[in-house]
Amino acid sequence: MKPRVMLDTGALIALERGDQQLRKVHRLATDHGYQIVGITPVIAEWWRRGKREKQRIQILRTLVIEPPDLHVARIAGEAIGLVQATVVDALVMAAASLRGDTVYTSDLGDLERLLEVFPSVELAAV
């Protein structure tokens, strides 16, 4: 199974704003056939109507969209009970842990706390 790249809300915002590092990651992942994943709670945090909506639509078309299922929700809830984390951060890490995804994030400190619960996830700072 090929590695996957998961983007959190901050990473999607950075990509939308044209961040060169994220654009390179996005291009390389696409060129090598890696899935770029966005979970639905992240999409809800990121999505807005307005001046950059065209960029959002273009980015959205390149993503594999995953709605967290009951299993992901439960392990995210358990993680929240163990370490201080937001629901969306815990859902990102729980979903990523199922396949050992690399999560690109602008909230490295917040997600690092969750590595205690989800050690199979790799984090990359935006």
Per-residue pLDDT of the chain (126 residues; tens, 9 = 90+): 678 999 999 999 999 999 999 999 999 999 999 999 999 999 999 999 988 899 999 999 999 999 999 999 999 999 999 999 999 999 999 999 999 999 999 999 999 999 999 999 999 999
β-strand 102-105 against 122-125: which pairing, if any?
A: parallel
User: DSSP state, 118?
Assistant: -
What predicted TM-score, i.e. pTM, was given to this entire model? 0.94
Instruction: Using alpha carbons, list the distances in angstroms from residue 16 to 41, 48, 61, 99.
Output: 17, 11, 13, 26
CATH code, 5-125: 3.40.50.1010
